C-alpha cells in the first residue's frame, strides 16, 4: 500500500534523534517516522538529505508541502540558525526562519527558541512543547518542568514564558553512570526507597553530595557479596542528582502548580521526587506536546500570522 500524501509535515529535531509526523488536513497523524540523524551527527548540508530520507514518501510531485521544524535544526550548528526570542514572551511569538532546500517540493520553516539574558539561559525545542501544552490548557498559570538531558523549569503567566532555568541533571547522570568509576556498580533495577532517601539528602544537604557520590562505589566494594545492593546504586545516583536539582530550583516548585512534560518513566521519577519534597505535580499525557506545538505553529504559518 502506497504512503499517503501529507497535507503538511511536523518535525522534532533533537541533538540525537529526528522525529517526523506526516499530517492530514484534518489534523490526523497519517504516519510517524524516526531516525538517529540528530543534529550532533550532521553538518548543515546533511540536514535536507536526512529529512528527505523520512519525508519523501509523503510528498507529491508538483505540490509544495510545508515542513515545520522545532529543535536543534535551528541551532548555530544546525541547518540554519533561528535566532532566540527573549522572554517574557509567548512560546511561539518569533517568526519562523526558512531553511534553504534544494527539493522544490518542500518549504521548511524552522522555529526559533527562547533566551533569557539574566541569568543567562536558552531553550530550543522546549518552547514548542510548551505551546502544545498551552493549546490544551490556555489558562494555566504555574510551572512546567520538562525533564531530559538538560531539564527545563519554566514559569508561565497568562500564556507567556516569564522565566526559566536549565539543569544538566540528565547529562550529569550519563557522565557519572557511563564514564566515571561509578559505572562499575550501576545496576538495571530500581529501588524507590533508595531514590527517595537520596533525593531528601541532596535537597536538604546539597553539600553532602560531594562525598555521597563516591560512597555509592564504596558501598558496593564493602558489600560481602562483592556487588551493590539490588537496584540501589542507580536509584541512589539518580536521587542525589535530582535532589541537587530540587535544591537549586526550589523557588520554581514550592507553592506552585506543576505540570511535567516528557517521557513517562522519567516524568514518574520527577513526580516522585517532587512528592517526597512536599510538592504536587502531574504529567501532561493528552497528546505528544511537541507535535501539538508544531500544529499550533503550522496554523500560524497557514494563516499568515507567524
Residue 305: pLDDT band with limits 50, 70, 90? confident
Lowest mean pLDDT of 3-7, 110-114, 266-270, name the range: 3-7
Residue 101 DSSP SS3: coil
pLDDT above 60: residue 230: no
270: left (phi over 0), alpha (psi -120 to 50) or beta: alpha
Element (H, E) at 108: strand 106-110
Neighbours of 104 (CB within 10 A): 10
For the segment 253-273, the average pLDDT, to the nearest whole number, is 95
From the number of C-beta atoms within 10 Å of its C-beta (0-12, 13-18, 19+), residue 152 rates as buried
Q: What is the pLDDT of residue 298?
A: 98
What confidence tens digit (pLDDT) does each residue in 117-160 have?
999 999 999 999 999 999 999 999 999 999 999 999 999 999 99
Q: What is the pLDDT of residue 189?
A: 86
Lowest mean pLDDT of 193-197, 223-227, 232-236, 267-271, name the range: 223-227
Q: Tell me which of 229 and 278 has the higher pLDDT.
A: 278
The three cell numbers locating residue 202: 541532596
Domains annotated for the chain, with CATH where assigned, are 8-137+288-303 (3.30.420.300), 166-283 (3.30.420.310)
Report the C-alpha gap between 278 and 265 in whole angstroms: 20
Q: What is the pLDDT of residue 219?
A: 86
* Sign of CA pseudo-dihedral 79, 10, 90, 126: negative
What confidence tens digit (pLDDT) does each residue in 11-47 have?
999 999 999 999 999 999 999 999 999 999 999 999 9
For the chain, what is the mean pLDDT? 94
What confidence tens digit (pLDDT) does each residue in 81-106 have?
999 999 999 999 999 999 999 999 99
pLDDT above 80: residue 231: no
Are 187 and 230 a contacting pair, CB within 8 Å? yes
What confidence tens digit (pLDDT) does each residue in 272-283 have?
999 999 999 999
Task: Please report, to the nearest 10 degrees, the dihedral formed by the alpha carbons of residues 261, 254, 168, 198 taken in order.
Answer: -100
For the segment 156-165, the average pLDDT, to the nearest whole number, is 98
For the segment 226-245, the average pLDDT, to the nearest whole number, is 83
Amino acid at each position: 500500500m502506497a504512503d499517503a500524501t501529507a497535507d503538511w509535515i511536523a518535525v522534532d529535531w533533537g541533538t540525537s534523534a529526528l522525529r517526523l509526523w506526516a499530517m492530514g488536513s484534518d489534523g490526523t497523524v497519517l504516519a510517524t517516522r524516526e531516525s538517529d540523524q540528530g543534529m550532533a551527527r550532521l553538518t548543515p548540508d546533511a540536514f535536507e538529505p536526512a529529512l528527505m530520507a523520512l519525508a519523501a514518501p509523503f510528498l507529491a510531485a508538483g505540490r509544495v508541502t510545508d515542513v515545520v521544524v522545532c529543535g536543534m535544526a535551528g541551532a548555530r550548528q544546525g541547518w540554519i540558525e533561528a535566532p532566540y526570542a527573549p522572554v517574557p514572551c509567548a512560546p511561539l511569538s518569533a517568526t519562523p526562519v526558512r531553511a534553504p532546500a534544494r527539493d522544490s517540493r518542500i518549504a521548511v520553516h524552522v522555529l526559533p527558541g527562547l533566551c533569557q539574558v539574566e541569568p543567562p539561559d536558552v531553550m530550543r525545542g522546549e518552547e514548542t512543547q510548551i505551546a502544545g501544552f498551552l493549546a490544551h490548557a490556555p489558562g494555566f498559570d504555574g510551572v512546567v518542568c520538562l525533564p531530559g538531558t538538560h531539564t527545563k523549569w519554566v514559569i508561565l503567566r497568562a500564556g507567556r514564558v516569564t522565566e526559566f532555568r536549565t539543569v544538566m541533571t540528565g547529562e550529569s547522570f550519563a557522565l557519572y553512570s557511563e564514564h566515571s568509576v561509578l559505572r562499575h556498580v550501576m545496576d538495571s533495577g530500581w529501588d524507590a526507597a533508595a531514590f527517595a532517601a537520596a533525593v531528601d539528602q541532596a535537597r536538604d544537604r546539597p553539600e553532602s553530595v560531594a562525598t555521597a557520590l563516591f560512597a555509592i562505589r564504596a558501598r558496593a566494594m564493602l558489600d560481602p557479596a562483592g556487588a551493590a545492593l539490588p537496584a540501589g546504586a542507580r536509584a541512589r545516583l539518580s536521587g542525589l542528582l535530582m535532589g541537587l536539582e530540587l535544591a537549586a530550583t526550589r523557588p520554581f516548585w514550592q507553592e506552585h502548580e506543576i505540570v511535567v512534560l516528557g517521557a513517562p518513566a522519567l516524568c514518574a521519577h520527577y513526580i516522585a521526587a517532587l512528592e517526597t519534597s512536599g510538592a504536587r505535580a502531574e504529567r501532561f499525557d493528552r497528546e505528544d506536546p511537541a507535535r501539538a506545538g508544531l500544529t499550533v505553529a503550522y496554523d500560524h504559518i497557514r494563516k499568515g500570522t507567524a
